[in-house]
Structure 1
Amino acid sequence: MSDLYIKQLNVRFSGTPQPALSIPDLMIRSGLQVAVTGASGSGKTTLVNAISGLERCGRGQVFWDGIDIGAYSESKLDRWRAANVGLVMQDFHLYPGLSALDNVLLPAKFYHWRLPAQLKIKGKDLLARLGIENNRTSIDLLSRGEKQRVAIARALLKSPPVIIADEPTASLDADNGMQVIQLLTRLASESKSTLICITHDLRLSKAMRRHILLDAGRPVQDLTAGKLL
């Protein structure tokens, strides 16, 4: 289970009169696929950081399965995120000089004295399913679309209950963008993960079950299957 509940969340940055994010009450049920959209500066990246625990909230609470992650220490929060959240970031955060497979496995190596054989097998399988046949290819030789697929494989390696993708189709051409949308939504469905996508891509929004529109840090529209919630 991976229910998200946000309560009285308010995030402000120094020197700005208005909050970057202001969400009185928001619930996302486990296994749901949600698109979060809005203009630049509407609070989308701040939301990613808040719900993934990458950034402490100024006021309010973020609950995952009834657990207030803001109450965790930094070390406990890191362990929670590693076990529960797969992040797909817009700029990939891949390591040059390493192979596709080594990039997929690298985060897991920080939490295992000896990497389990099944994780290596799963990493190879995910890359193959995502169209990266030669998993020993250096990441430097891959296209942007291929790098995005490597980033998705890394996020899904440990079958996290939560997948958060920040603009996963940004800077990709139409064909690669559509392939990424199909792969990400299908793999999330197979693992029954909660999928939250920050996006400007109308095709990705349409592929999601729910659509939340942010404006000036506030949810101003919340629709599911074409109907207002």
Structure 2
Amino acid sequence: MSLPALDLPAGGLLGVRGPSGAGKSTLLNALSGLLDARGRVQWGETDIASLSPDLRAAFRAAQMGMIFQDFLLFEELSAEANAALTAQFAPAASRAGILSRAKDRLSRLAVAEGARTVESFSGGERQRVAVARALASDPQVILADEPTAALDRTAADRLVADLVGLCRDGGKTLVVVSHDLHLLDAMDRVVNVEDGQVTG
């Protein structure tokens, strides 16, 4: 994949579009450090492309929240348990803050509290839980791969409004891969990926 110099200001919202198989998810994985990348992938002062896999994973855990198309929730857990999942792997001093933010984000996303497991949730509810989970650790960067693809138009539009609002309110940088024109229209900038080339 060829990526020209691409600067995204802190708190900026970037959309990535292109045909299926063009390399959009590969780009997202390179930006997150999930795969090795040539050149530089710099977030702030840190070039994650120069880090070892373990250090990239540590950076991702500390600085990034990820939202996936297929939710990746634990069906047997409640919304709160799923949203606060990263607390299980965080230092003890950080756990209370993650739990508090998870509850707050679920409330802002209008996900009902309670012991009901996410197995019975609708697709829109599940994706809002996934968004709350991505934001619970208070990351600086949110990376989302087709977050509205599994949702009907009403649920998708609500998620777009919620996700964009939470990122703007919190000063989060958002990079989202999507075919959804409603979501892309809400971004500050959109780039195209085709045949492994990034333009725009």
TM tier, shorter chain? Answer: over 0.9
SS at match of 1:200: coil
Q: Which residue of 2 aligns with 1:9?
A: none
Report how many residues are paired.
200
Q: Is the 8 A contact 2:67 2:144 kept in 1?
A: yes
Indicate whether 1:201 and 2:144 are aligned: no
Residue matched to 2:159: 180
- The answer on whether the counterparts of 1:127 and 1:135 sit within 8 Å (CA) in structure 2 is no
**1:30 Cα shift?**
1.2
The match for 1:169 is 148
Q: Does 1:110 align with 2:89?
A: yes
Larger Rg, first or second structure (1 or 2): 1
Q: What TM-score do the two structures reach when normalised by structure 1? A: 0.83
The CA distance in 2 between the partners of 1:136 and 1:115, in whole Å, is: 24
Listed as ranges, the matches of 1:16-55 within 5 Å are 21-55=1-35
Q: Distance in 2 between matches of 1:43 and 1:28?
A: 19
Partner residue, 1:5: none
Q: Secondary structure at the match of 2:39?
A: strand
CA contact (8 A) 1:109 1:115 kept: no
* More deviation, 21-30/175-184: 21-30
Distance 1:40 1:215 in 2: 9
| Structure 2 residues not aligned, in runs of 5+ | none
For residue 136 of structure 1, report the CA deviation from its aligned partner: 2.5
> What CA deviation, in whole Å up to 9, does each residue of 1:160-218 have, x standing for no partner?
11011111100200110000000000000011011111000010111111011111111
Give the root-mean-square deviation of aligned CA atoms: 1.4
Alignment match, 1:86 = 65
1:4-32 Cα distance to aligned partner (Å, 9 max, x none): xxxxxxxxxxxxxxxxx211322212111
Q: Does 1:62 pair with 2:41?
A: yes
Greater per-residue strand proportion? 1
SS in 2 for 1:208: coil
Taking structure 2 as the reference length, what is the TM-score of the superposition?
0.95
Task: Name the CA distance, whole Å, in 1 between partners of 2:176 and 2:84.
Answer: 23
Note the residue ranges of structure 1 that are not aligned, 5 or more in a row.
1-20, 223-229
Structure 1 moving runs of 4+ over 6 Å: none
User: Aligned ranges for residues 208-223 of structure 1 at < 5 Å?
Assistant: 208-220=187-199, 222=200
Higher helix fraction (1 or 2): 2
CA-CA distance at 1:115 after TM superposition = 6.0
- Specify whether residues 114 and 31 from structure 1 end up closer, same or farther in structure 2 by C-alpha distance, changes over 3 A only: closer
Alignment of 1:123-162 (within 5 A): 123-162=102-141
Amino acid at match of 1:136: A
- Residue of structure 2 aligned with 1:122, choices 93, 101, 109: 101
Q: Structure 1 residues 122 and 67, CA, compared in 2 at 3 Å: closer, same or farther?
A: closer
Larger displacement relative to structure 2 (128-137 or 163-172): 128-137
Name the amino acid aligned to 2:124. G
- After superposition, give the CA deviation of every residue in 1:114-167 in whole Å (9 maximum; x if it has no partner): 763332222112111111122422010111110000000000002211011111
